[in-house]
Structure 1
Amino acid sequence: MKEKTKKHSADNVTVMQNDFTKAQHSQKRIFQREKKAHMRRLSLIFFVGAALIVPCLWKTVGNWLEINRLDDAIALARTEKKQAEDKNTQLAYEVKLLQDEEYIAKLARSKYYLSKDGEVIFSLPEDNETKMAEKQGNATDSDS
């Protein structure tokens, strides 16, 4: 029974040398050569295609990154523009106020204690505290 389960090695097999087997072997070799040539062509096409596509993709990704950077710069410029417009509006309002003589007189009285002829100015403690706070605020702003 052990002899039945024993595997036969390839040495025990003989190849028939008739026309059919020769034709089969030659067809198999031709098929393998064609398959190898086909694989070579496919790999050549793949590498040539990759060589053409990779630079285009590289440039496209570079352009995409540049677009994102420029979009960020545009957003920053828009916020700066908005801030400048707001400041310009505020300054235009201040210019308009400074053209009014009543406002200038009121400003001179409050900041510099100027008075009209015959007018007496009294300084209250709350006014002094406010003035001191403004002076300290201006001092810290000028240090920055």
Structure 2
Amino acid sequence: MEPKQQRKPLANVASIQTEYVRSLHKKEERIRARKVRLYRRLAAYAIAAIIILGTLTSTFINQKQALSVKEQKVVELLAELEVVTDEQEMLNRQIVKLSDDDYIAKLARKNYFLSDKNEIIFSTPDKKKK
């Protein structure tokens, strides 16, 4: 069997206007209209899907960039925290030393040239200044 070929209506041939022919034409029009609505709906859904996927992709990229910036900041803050912790430990050791009277006396003699009773302080010139 050969596939059916659609025939073009001839200009000099009149079509039969019976109820059956009109119902077939209406049925064909409904089918065509249904296909058009289907294609329009599919196009609308495709556009909506593309917009949603684009928005989600954009949001994902922005969040990933924000996360990498925050992770970098965390690394920097952890390094700063380590420095501050070391400084705090040094200051705590110095506080412990400053509660010792012998250490305070030693600092006073060294920095402020104070002396104990019956003690004489001699100042020697620095070799670097020459």
Give the TM-score taking structure 1 as reference length: 0.58
Q: RMSD of aligned C-alpha atoms?
A: 3.0
Counterparts in 2 of 1:52-91, with a 5 A limit?
Answer: 52-91=52-91
CA shift for structure 1 position 49: 2.2
Residue identity matched to 1:67: L
1:95 aligns with 2:110: no
CA shift for structure 1 position 95: 0.6
4+ runs deviating over 6 angstroms: none
CA shift for structure 1 position 127: 8.3
CA shift for structure 1 position 46: 3.9
- Which residue of 2 is the match for residue 114 of structure 1? 114
The answer to which structure has the higher helix fraction is: 1
Q: 2: distance between equivalents of 1:110 and 1:71?
A: 47
CA shift for structure 1 position 128: 8.8
- Aligned residue pairs, count: 99
CA shift for structure 1 position 101: 1.1
SS at match of 2:126: helix
Q: 1: distance between equivalents of 2:59 and 2:128?
A: 67
Q: 2: distance between equivalents of 1:53 and 1:60?
A: 10
Q: 2: distance between equivalents of 1:98 and 1:126?
A: 28
Unpaired stretches in structure 1, ≥5 consecutive residues:
1-19, 28-32, 130-144
Q: 1: distance between equivalents of 2:52 and 2:110?
A: 77
Instruction: Check 1:91–1:72 CA distance in 2 against 1; reply closer, same or farther (3 A cut).
Output: same
CA shift for structure 1 position 90: 0.6
Q: 2: distance between equivalents of 1:88 and 1:117?
A: 36
**Identical positions, percent:** 24
Unpaired stretches in structure 2, ≥5 consecutive residues:
8-31
SS at match of 1:126: coil
Q: 1: distance between equivalents of 2:117 and 2:74?
A: 57
